[in-house]
Structure 1
Amino acid sequence: MARWVLHVDLDQFIAAVEVLRRPELRGRPVVVGGDGDPAKRGVVSTASYEARAYGVHSGLPLRTAARRCPDAVFLPVDREHYEAVSDQVMAALRSFGVVVEVLGWDEAFLAVDGDPEAMAREIRDRVRAATRLECSVGIGENKLQAKLATGFGKPAGIFRLTGETWFEVLGDRPADALWGIGTKTAKRLGDLGISTVGELAAAEPVVLAEAVGPTIGPWLVRLAQGRDDSPVSDAPHVPRSCGRETTYQHDLDDWRDVRREVAQLARRVAQDVADDGRNAARVIVKVRFAPFITQTHGRTLDTPVTEAHRIEEAALAALDMFTRRRPVRLLGVRAEFVR
């Protein structure tokens, strides 16, 4: 195994790519999301650092972003262009001849030996030369440490986090500072009197197993201790699911319209399942009620299928599990593949 893991993360990737195309926007608050019209419904895909200073962040409704930062420049999402630039970034990383695990458009892990800081500096230079984009690099003894280190290096910096410095850097930080712990899990831990990384690391795995589950409990303790034995792998990513969703510019008030839209989305997902050549084992329906309340329900299939009518039936059965009949602003259907 390589001695070090490096996590490379492009700084404000989508916004930075857009600024490269429009240099006159440099230094201005830029928000990318939807079709670029903040008067329409949609969410922020990314925001420049200048926009983030106003409280604009990924996942925020575009209308809210416009209220928080009325002087922002709003741009539409251009997936094909971002993918093309991402390919250039990943090619630059692979040019080092080491194992590269791609996490998405804008981040990847590398397994390296030798001087990790020197490698990190060379990575930043090659990415900049290939794309004119800046990146931050986290250095760790495992993927968890490297991933968290990157946040301390932003923007355009390098930071090393190891088992020796883990608690010095993270011990007093809230538990949800850890990669993999969200607000819900943090709240459950808070109910147990655990609020910091250090407190979670000192918790008894058996106690947590009883409180949050026999697998999740001990895993949370290992996470808080900075332990991670997952290897850096360049195996192609195999998606666990595929889905489609639509945000409606006007609320769907009639549940018959909701059923019709879910059926249509399910048929599109069924085509994606067939194109992928794998079987769907479970179908999940997401409903976002006005103003912004999101719920999901799922239906497990008796046997894995690819047939469109079976996936549509499962989606409608999942929809029937919703008891609310409030106006709907977003619908989504997702099929989970057999694992």
Structure 2
Amino acid sequence: MTQNRKIIHIDMDAFFASVEQRDNPELRGKAIAVGFDGERGVVSTASYEARRFGVHSAMPIATAKRRCPDLIIVPVRHGYYEEVSHEIRKIFQEYTDLIEPLSIDEAFLDVTENKKDIPLAKDIAIAIKEEIKEKLHLTASAGVSYNKFLAKIASDYQKPDGLFVIHPDRALDFLSDLPVEDFWGVGPKTLQLMHRMGIYTGGQLRKVSRSHLREVFGKSGDIFYNFARGIDDRPVVTERVRKSVGCEQTFLEDISIPSKVIIELYHTVLELVDRIHGDGFEGHTLTLKIKYGDFTQITRSISGNKVLRRKDDILPLAKQLLHQVSYDANHPIRLLGLSVSNPNPQEDNDEPQWYEGWLDFE
């Protein structure tokens, strides 16, 4: 275990909502949600004032309004948020070039060797937070530790505008009392399995043998075994290889008539082909995602040796996957999505990618 690294995780606080409140004084201190204000709109980001009412990202706008009758809905401005994110990145680059973005509003920084020769990572995190607040009038939360796993947990620990350090000497004690649902990547289904095993805290997880964790969770068992011991030796990766290209469509009304579903599938294939050409992506696996009117979700995938880049390659496979899906008037489709992945099928790529819920099982 490498404990001499200095890793910072920076997470912008309610990023989209905070940008909107910064730019519009009339929104400050009020409950707002950024998203599409329509029947099928969902919340992209909620301000902390709205979160007090239980409003959160990915929640249907209609539900958010019921929970918070005075909620103000603000349209999404993705291009503008990208510009602000670029300004934040410039601040990071004043301290290190080892930056691994996770999304538009969060990133890892390896400051073991930093451009300003600041000895303590905590002081670098403080400086970055202060510079973001001074230059951009936004707040960020920072986590500091000796690896990415712990730094990520630390950044979530005292939000908003927080700073938390997990020192190597205190990591095991900290993890012992930490609920397993707070472990980065543990989603609802994984949590349910752990609870069935009597695992509720990191300390209890640490008592389970590696072999038993492998038996229950497969290769992810090794990851859980290491996490419980504060082990994560992966470096901060400055350039991430794109793993997939996809698109999806939420319908204004649920659909169940086969001809309508085929038409929407066709349009989704055309959009996917455009994105593939725009990104120059080459993948070998096609995945169909279906979300039903009751918000349950399934995926179906098919792989081959042929690169999927043209409509004539993708549409037949998409139809084949659709035939594996059942739907009717009592179980209509709310959302349909397609993605192409698996750029290097010959590679045995066991390295997990760090996204929320990546350990959760289908």
TM, length-normalised to structure 2: 0.88
* Alpha-carbon shift at residue 278 of structure 1 (Å): 2.9
> Structure 1: which 5+ runs fail to align?
none
Out of 110, 113, 124, the position equivalent to 1:119 is 124
* Alpha-carbon shift at residue 85 of structure 1 (Å): 0.3
Confirm whether residue 330 of structure 1 aligns to residue 329 of structure 2.
no
> For residue 227 of structure 1, what is the amino acid of its counterpart?
I
* Residues 44-53 or 187-196, more deviating: 187-196
Q: Deviations over 1:115-173 (max 9, x none)?
A: 12211111112112221111111110111111111112321121101332224333233
Partner of 1:224: 228
Q: Deviations over 1:241-275 (max 9, x none)?
A: 11111111112131210111012101211222223
SS in 2 for 1:152: coil
> Structure 2: which 5+ runs fail to align?
113-118, 345-362
Partner of 1:296: 299
* Alpha-carbon shift at residue 26 of structure 1 (Å): 0.7
Verify the 8 A CA contact 2:13 2:141 in the aligned structure 1.
yes
CA distance in 2, matches of 1:327, 1:277: 34
Confirm whether residue 171 of structure 1 aligns to residue 183 of structure 2.
no
CA distance in 1, matches of 2:227, 2:174: 15
Confirm whether residue 83 of structure 1 aligns to residue 82 of structure 2.
yes
Q: Deviations over 1:155-210 (max 9, x none)?
A: 11211013322243332332121012111111112222222211112210011112
Verify the 8 A CA contact 2:96 2:109 in the aligned structure 1.
no
Verify the 8 A CA contact 1:88 1:130 in the aligned structure 2.
no
* Alpha-carbon shift at residue 83 of structure 1 (Å): 0.3
CA distance in 1, matches of 2:339, 2:121: 40
Partner of 1:271: 274
Partner of 1:100: 99
Partner of 1:205: 210
Verify the 8 A CA contact 1:149 1:159 in the aligned structure 2.
yes
Q: How many aligned positions are there? A: 334
* Residues 273-282 or 70-79, more deviating: 273-282
TM alignment of 1:107-256, pairs within 5 A? 107-113=106-112, 114-213=119-218, 215-235=219-239, 237-256=240-259
CA distance in 2, matches of 1:289, 1:115: 50
SS in 2 for 1:31: strand
Verify the 8 A CA contact 2:121 2:144 in the aligned structure 1.
yes
Verify the 8 A CA contact 1:273 1:280 in the aligned structure 2.
no
> For residue 219 of structure 1, what is the amino acid of its counterpart?
I
* Residues 158-167 or 329-338, more deviating: 158-167
CA distance in 2, matches of 1:103, 1:290: 30
Cα RMSD over matched residues?
Answer: 1.6
* Alpha-carbon shift at residue 87 of structure 1 (Å): 0.3
* Alpha-carbon shift at residue 98 of structure 1 (Å): 4.1
> For residue 110 of structure 1, what is the amino acid of its counterpart?
L
> For residue 11 of structure 1, what is the amino acid of its counterpart?
D
TM, length-normalised to structure 1: 0.94
CA distance in 1, matches of 2:166, 2:96: 24
CA distance in 2, matches of 1:239, 1:98: 20
Q: Deviations over 1:50-96 (max 9, x none)?
A: 10111111111111111111101101111001000000001111012
Percent identity between matched residues is 34
Partner of 2:58: 59
CA distance in 2, matches of 1:16, 1:305: 40
